[in-house]
């Protein structure tokens, strides 16, 4: 291969592969803009024969969909705020404080990170029933209120702050609570951003737990509501409506990802590699 | 805890400062500790406890009134053809899904790291997009594409082939479900490999090139050995993902046709849905043991890196 040919070959291969990768997105978006009769007449077509927003209008006038959207938003806000507060506290303690039981606490974070959800959801459900939180948004949000991934990100960030900075404050008589609020938190912006993104993603895309806890349409989150809609739609084949729902579910994350890619990358690399 | 015992008993010279912040540190950790105890520690222990009982959904209000069943659930499971099939399906997921996902991720990482100069982050973003996308939305379009009258068969028809009913066929459903798993995970592999490749020193590569080693030779004898820790880590992470596979078969086929795509996690969920909490917990505990074995390896890798 000559040196001039090689990049051309690589770029072509990358472009083809990238197109194949994003094909499902294109289909979802283009399908959501087509009329139902158009979808049924040309199931394999790439582009709408005429662009319509009718599917979205029908979606939002439909009973329930706005509730699913509202539930997803509420759960996401609660989970993100919970993660920012609790994970920054836990991460700071694990990285910067000396205390009895530190190894136990760190082992707990690792266990929480590694125990597969599919292995514990039955007893988690039993616990949720005992707490009286089945079929409530609180029951959906509570287990994700402090994600181990968030603690990892915060701990790693806290470890990068020089000890001298904290020691200087201690010598000046500041206690650990003040150090946390006045020194650690003001510096923690980038870590807070990463935690916000990662916990929003975990909340917004969570499927199996809301599927188990939400037992009536009133507490469905978007993915659960969408899955229920699509199962109903297999009988009536109203693909346009379901695909419009799929766009609403995908869009917030894709837009966030488009603008904040580096935080996503940071999140995955720091949790996967360190 | 080890150092505390040591210093208290013998008064041996302490190498560490006396823990000064125990109270405040646990205050900081309190929210995590509460959530961990309620939603991780108690469930892990009670998962084992429930699995040796005959608990059913009707017992939810009186969870302590159930009967001890010993290992009955486990014995029943291992002689249940459906569960054995779920284990084999899950292993198939891992054995096919992990190597293919890694190969795609590694190839992409290699090209993005040293093959091209421009648009790196654009390509990285496009290839990573499936990881962050909601699986329910994507599964919908896959279902639609692999329908009897779907897009894939439309394309095949234009080429003169009669396409099968992919998701309704006992032999073809699994490949489609695995393909969705690969599509969804290769971005993670790519990103981790990219991070690994960036830690390979440039000057070592250049020195080897000066010594006359061609690109393939450098790849085999230098890059691949140098990023071995990353490779191990990615393989363990992906194995844990694929062992727990649930969303893809649930959304595409719900385990069918005839149980041909039922994974262990999905089997657990179905037993849960039937109200067989005891059986479901036993099945999930077997899955937990398998994942724990793989995770133990991951834990050692993480420790050796930090």
B68 pairs with which residues across the strands?
B53
Angle at A221 between CA A215 and CA A227, to 5 degrees: 80
pLDDT at A24 over 80: yes
Distance CA A64, CA A222 (A): 10
Determine the residue among B5, B57, B141, B282 to mutate to test chain A binding: the one whose Cβ has the most chain A Cβ atoms within 10 Å.
B141
Domain boundaries, chain B: 83-275+283-305
Listing DSSP states for A94-121 in one string gives HHH---TTHHHHHHHHHHHHHS-GGGTH
Is there a contact between A44 and B154 if contact means CB atoms under 8 Å apart? yes
Q: Distance between CA atoms of A113 and B297, rounded to whole angstroms?
A: 14
CA dihedral A195, A206, A257, A29 (to 10 degrees): -170
What is the per-residue pLDDT across A79-107, written as a single tens digit (0 to 9) for each? Answer: 999 999 999 999 999 998 888 989 999 99
Q: Which two tokens stand for residue A10?
A: 């690589």
Which tokens sit at A43? 């199931």
pLDDT bracket for residue A126 (50, 70, 90): confident
| ipTM at complex level | 0.85
Q: Do B32 and A151 touch (CB under 8 A)?
A: yes
What pLDDT does A51 receive? 82
The answer to whether the CB atoms of A273 and B295 lie below 8 A apart is no
Burial of A133 (0-12, 13-18, 19+ CB in 10 A): middle
Nearest CA in chain A to B282: A119
- Cβ contact A114–B125 (<8 Å): no
> Which regions in chain B score pLDDT beneath 70?
1-18, 298-299, 301-306
Judged by phi (left if over 0) then psi (alpha if -120 to 50, else beta), residue A35 lies in beta
Domains of chain A: 5-56 (no CATH), 63-273 (1.10.3720.10)
CATH topology assigned to domain B83-275+283-305: MetI-like fold (1.10.3720)
B266: nearest CA in chain A? A118
Residues in A closer than 8 angstroms to B125, CB to CB, are: 257-258, 261
Give pLDDT, residue A53. Answer: 85
Whether omega for the bond prior to residue B257 falls within 30 degrees of 0, making it cis, is yes
Longest Cα–Cα distance in chain B:
84
A265 and B4 in contact by Cβ < 8 A?
no
**Residue bearing tokens 């999905």:** B266
Number of A/B CB contacts below 8 angstroms equals 305
Q: Rounded CA gap, B171 and B245, in Å?
A: 19
Q: What are phi and psi of B53, to 5 degrees?
A: -125, 175
Chain B positions touching A222 (Cβ under 8 A) are 134
Nearest to A201 among B31, B132, B230 (CB): B132
Write the pLDDT tens digit of every residue in A229-270.
Answer: 877 755 556 778 888 989 999 988 888 888 887 777 776 666
Kindly determine whether residue B28 and residue A114, on different chains, have CB atoms separated by under 8 Å: no
The first and second tokens of residue A146, run together, are 């402090």
**A126, A238, A250: best to mutate for the B interface, most B CBs within 10 A:** A126
Helix pair B135-145, B151-158: axis angle to 10 deg: 30
Residue pair A266/B156 in contact (Cβ under 8 Å)? The answer is no
pTM more than 0.80 = yes
């Amino acid at each position: 291969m000559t040196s001039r040919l090689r990049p051309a070959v690589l770029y072509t291969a990358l472009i083809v592969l990238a197109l194949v990768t994003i094909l499902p997105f294109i289909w979802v978006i283009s399908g959501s803009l087509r009329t139902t009769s158009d979808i049924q007449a040309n199931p394999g077509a790439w582009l709408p024969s005429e662009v319509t927003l009718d599917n979205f209008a029908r979606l939002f006038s439909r009973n329930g969909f706005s509730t699913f959207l509202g539930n997803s938003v509420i759960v996401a806000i609660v989970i993100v705020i919970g993660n920012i507060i609790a994970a920054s506290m836990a991460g700071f303690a694990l990285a910067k404080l000396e205390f009895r039981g530190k190894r136990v606490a760190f082992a707990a974070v690792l266990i929480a990170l590694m125990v597969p959800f599919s292995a514990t959801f039955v007893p988690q459900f039993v616990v949720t029933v005992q707490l009286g939180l089945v079929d409530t948004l609180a029951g959906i949000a509570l287990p994700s209120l402090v994600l181990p991934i968030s603690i990892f990100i915060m701990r790693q960030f806290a470890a990068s702050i020089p000890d001298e900075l904290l020691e200087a404050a201690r010598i000046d008589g500041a206690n650990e609570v003040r150090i946390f609020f006045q020194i650690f938190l003001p510096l923690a912006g980038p870590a807070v951003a990463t935690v916000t993104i990662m916990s929003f993603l975990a909340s917004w895309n969570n499927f199996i737990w809301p599927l188990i806890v939400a037992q009536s349409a009133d507490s469905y989150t978007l993915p659960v509501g969408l899955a229920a809609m699509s199962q109903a739609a297999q009988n009536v084949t109203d693909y346009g409506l379901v695909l419009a729902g799929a766009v609403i579910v995908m869009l917030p994350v894709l837009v966030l990802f488009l603008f904040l890619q580096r935080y996503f990358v940071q999140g995955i690399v720091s949790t996967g590699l360190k | 805890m080890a150092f505390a015992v040591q210093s208290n008993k013998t008064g041996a010279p302490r190498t560490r400062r006396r823990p000064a912040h125990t109270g405040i540190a646990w205050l900081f950790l309190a929210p995590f500790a509460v959530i961990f105890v309620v939603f991780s520690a108690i469930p892990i222990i009670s998962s084992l406890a429930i699995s040796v009982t005959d608990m059913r959904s009707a017992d939810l209000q009186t969870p302590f009134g159930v009967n001890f069943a010993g290992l009955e659930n486990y014995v029943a499971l291992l002689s249940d053809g459906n569960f054995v099939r779920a284990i084999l399906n899950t292993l198939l997921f891992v054995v096919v899904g992990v190597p293919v996902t890694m190969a795609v991720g590694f190839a992409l990482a290699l090209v993005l790291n040293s093959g091209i100069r421009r648009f790196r982050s654009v390509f990285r973003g496009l290839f990573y997009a499936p990881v962050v996308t909601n699986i329910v939305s994507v599964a919908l379009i896959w279902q639609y594409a692999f329908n009897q009258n779907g897009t894939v068969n439309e394309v095949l028809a234009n080429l003169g082939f009669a396409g099968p009913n992919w998701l309704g066929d006992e032999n073809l459903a699994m490949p489609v479900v695995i393909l969705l798993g690969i599509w969804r995970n290769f971005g993670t592999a790519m990103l981790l490999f990219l991070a690994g490749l960036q830690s390979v020193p440039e000057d070592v590569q250049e020195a080897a090139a000066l010594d006359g080693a061609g690109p393939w030779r450098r790849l085999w004898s230098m890059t691949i050995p140098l990023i071995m820790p990353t490779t191990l880590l990615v393989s363990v992470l992906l194995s844990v993902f694929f062992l727990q596979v649930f969303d893809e078969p649930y959304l595409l086929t719900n385990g069918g046709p005839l149980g041909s795509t039922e994974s262990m996690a999905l089997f657990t969920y179905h037993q849960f849905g039937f109200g067989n909490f005891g059986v479901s917990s036993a099945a999930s505990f077997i899955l937990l043991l398998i994942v724990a074995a793989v995770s133990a390896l991951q834990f050692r890798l993480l420790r050796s890196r930090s």
